Amino acid sequence: VADLPIARRNSLTRFLEKRKDRITSTAPYQ
């Protein structure tokens, strides 16, 4: 990950954080 270009590393970090937020903040599969 440290070798990733900054744009990809930022996008990856954002994607993982948003995914975690989405999963933990919503009741699953309503």
Partner 1 sequence: PTPRSSVSPAPAPVTGIAGDPLKSMPYFNQESLQQRLQTLIDGAREGWTYAIFWQSSVVDFASPSVLGWGDGYYKGEEDKNKRKTASFSPDFITEQAHRKKVLRELNSLISGTQTGGENDAVDEEVTDTEWFFLISMTQSFVNGSGLPGLAMYSSSPIWVTGTERLAASHCERARQAQGFGLQTIVCIPSANGVVELGSTELIFQTADLMNKVKVLFNFNIDMGAT
CB 12 within 8 A of CB 4: yes
1: three-class secondary structure by DSSP: coil
Tell me how far, at minimum, the Cβ of 23 lies from partner 1, in Å: 4
Give the residues lining the site for partner 1 (CB under 8 A).
1, 5-16, 18-20, 22-24, 28-30
Tell me how far, at minimum, the Cβ of 26 lies from partner 1, in Å: 10
**Conformational region of residue 27, where left means phi above 0, alpha means psi within -120 to 50, and beta covers everything else:** beta
Tell me how far, at minimum, the Cβ of 5 lies from partner 1, in Å: 7
